[in-house]
Chain A
Amino acid sequence: MIEVKNLVKRYGNHTAVDDLSFTVDRGQVLGFLGPNGAGKSTTMNIITGYISATEGTVTVNGVDVYDEPETVKKMIGYLPEQPPLYPDMTVREYLDFVADIKKVKKSKKLKMIGDVMEAAKITHMSERLIKHLSKGYKQRVGLAQAIMGYPEVIILDEPTVGLDPKQIIEIRDLIRELSNSHTVILSSHIMQEVSAVCDTVMIIDKGKLVLSDKPENLSARLGVTGLMKLTVKGDSETIISALNKIELITNIEEQPVTTEGIVNLNLFHEENDDIREAVFYAMCEAKTPILEMQTVRMSLEEIFLKVTNQDNTAELDPTEQPEAVPVEESKIEEEETSNVSDL
């Protein structure tokens, strides 16, 4: 459906996209993941024909974007990073204009505007001026614009920015619904979003493809280890020697003591192994009661940080690293808990 080959975009000496190649099949949802300035938007702008590539080709349905931009533009609906809205129009006027420039047939126009507003849940805002809408609603109007005319390919650049959690879930459902009949490319720097709706995730950093796989395979591909956080009452030496007997544990890391007589540990193990029971019995035998036990699944965030920071950590001052790690971890936990409440 979409084929991108050896895409390069240079701005003077700066390379925004560096030799990117991928294909998206019909009905697939592809997620671009990457930090700010990774080249996600640039790639999307090239696919939609807004800017041209320095090198490489993009074909949609076998039609080259460079050779026949107008044919390709007909097949694509695009929501850019900043929704392209006219503040002085009402929502209905705006969508009417969009339907006109996307060459929607007059007979179908009225119904389509209604359907699109329904899908983006903005029907009750149809007579409001766009400049009076909140950011979330503006984003939805932008989304309505992108699906106007039901193009085969829908490209969304950070579609859930500025939305509240409820709206985020609604937009995700909408994207899932769209993926039944459309090919969708979306970008994000929020991992849950990508893992929730995408069939394939592409991690991009500094214009280069770092990793591309199904969301559930990402951790396996990276050799991610499992982690258990354990708080035990007792003497640290007895506890560690008892834990050392469990073969499944690959590494034990002692955390600083916060309360006297209570030990905090990080236990590392293979991603697919379950060590909970073994730890429980070991602690029973040692007569050291477990106060807290928590298994931490490495989330996409961690994979993301790990992958995109690889170059950075090598450059970092080694003394700075231990400080940086706990901060990242705490952030991850927070996001995980919020994730749970979202779902």
Chain B
Amino acid sequence: MLAIYKKELRSYFTSMIGYVFIAFFLVIIGIGILITNLKGTYANFEYTLSTISFIFVLLTPILTMKLMAEENKQKTDQLLLTSPLSAGAIVVGKFLAVFTVFLSAMAITCLYPLILSKYGEVPLLSAYSGIFGFIVLGAAYLAIGLYISSLTESQVVAAVISFILFLFTFLMRSLADAIPADNKTAFMIFIVIILFVCLILYRMMNNMTIAVSGGLLLVLGLFLTYMFKPTLLDGSVSKIADWLSVVARYDQFNYGIFDVTGIIYYISITFLFAFLTTQVIRKKRWS
């Protein structure tokens, strides 16, 4: 694990990616401070973090795209998978490396509230709770990026898919707000989602029976709910969208609240996607 960690970390800093990421990150945070704290004359650093949370949509794909995709392409995965390393060790090593690059950018960011406090009263506690929230939010995005990278051989594909997915999680809430909350629309949307799920199921398992019967079962359940308890579907789409919207959880930190549920949510996502990545690696044996 340590070997993988060292190798990945070194590759971030022998190529340009590590430096480019940190530089852009700091530039965007700098602009955020300029707009929010200096021009906007707010003393709260967490406001800045909240305005620039779109940073993850732009920058994390750059950081995570090569993590696994490059190994798949160069066939170096063959070296890793035929050496006495577990899939878990590979994933943890890689995740910690990319997380370290992100943390080194955040470490510099940690100085900013202190600098601001030189010039006036800054609520440091909420600022640092905001930074902490930002770090776990980043961890969640990095884990998702790592997972997507493991699915493909091409860095570009990994970057584009991560970007689209992150953008989607970012816009999810405004998207959900635009959708009517009545149960009829919800019913339609769920039908479409079920169709998608079936398609993915079929692609992954190559088994028509499972895909179709699973789909029919879901549609039946949905139909029964719609017939007998339609109120259950009221506003359900936006509820689900809210749940999927990774960034939305960060709002609490913006209000200066140290949101434990949010932190648990982010850490769960991190673990979930790290786990999924190990499964993708293990699955290679069976392809």
Contacts and interface: CB of A to CB of B under 8 A. Distances in A.
Interface in B1-39: 2-4, 6-7, 10-11, 14-15
Given A76-B82, A102-B84, A86 B285 contact: no
B261 interface: no
Given A51-B284, A51-B285, A100-B2, A86 B84 contact: no
Contacts of A71: 84
Interface string A56-70: 000000000000001
Contact of B84 (A85, A97, A103): A103
Interface stretch (B71-79, B105-113, B130-138): B71-79
B260 interface: no
A46 to B, nearest CB: 10
A80 B85 contact: no
B89 to A, nearest CB: 9
B249 to A, nearest CB: 37
B75 A84 contact: yes
A84 B79 contact: yes
A11 to B, nearest CB: 8
Interface string A37-78: 000000001001111100000000000000000110110101
Nearest to A54: B286
Contacts of B82: 48-50, 73, 76, 78, 80
Contact of A73 (B6, B10, B83): B83
20 contacts: A45-B78, A48-B82, A49-B285, A51-B285, A70-B86, A73-B84, A76-B82, A80-B79, A82-B75, A84-B75, A84-B76, A85-B76, A88-B11, A88-B14, A97-B6, A98-B79, A100-B6, A101-B4, A101-B85, A102-B83
A145 interface: yes
A327 B284 CA distance: 42
B286 A70 contact: no
A82 to B, nearest CB: 5
B207 interface: no
Nearest to A73: B84
A50 B78 contact: yes
B65 to A, nearest CB: 15
Contacts of A49: 81-82, 285
A104 to B, nearest CB: 10
B80 interface: yes
Given A51-B286, A97-B6, 20 more contacts: A48-B82, A50-B284, A52-B285, A70-B84, A70-B86, A76-B82, A78-B78, A80-B78, A80-B79, A82-B75, A84-B75, A84-B76, A84-B79, A86-B7, A86-B11, A88-B11, A97-B3, A101-B79, A101-B83, A103-B84
Contacts, number: 71
A262 B35 CA distance: 99
B209 interface: no
Interface residues of A, number: 28
A114 interface: no
B41 interface: no
Pick from A85, A86, A145 the residue with the most CB of B within 10 Å: A86
A269 to B, nearest CB: 49
Contacts of B83: 73, 98, 101-102
A101 B80 contact: yes
Interface in A79-126: 80, 82, 84-89, 93, 97-98, 100-103
B285 A50 contact: yes
A247 to B, nearest CB: 58
A71 B85 CA distance: 10
A140 to B, nearest CB: 15
A88 B12 CA distance: 11
B81 A50 contact: yes
Given A84-B78, A85-B76, A88-B14, A74 B84 contact: yes
Which 5 A-B pairs give the minimum distances between C-beta atoms? A100-B3, A84-B79, A84-B76, A48-B82, A74-B84
Contacts of A145: 79
Contacts of A85: 74, 76
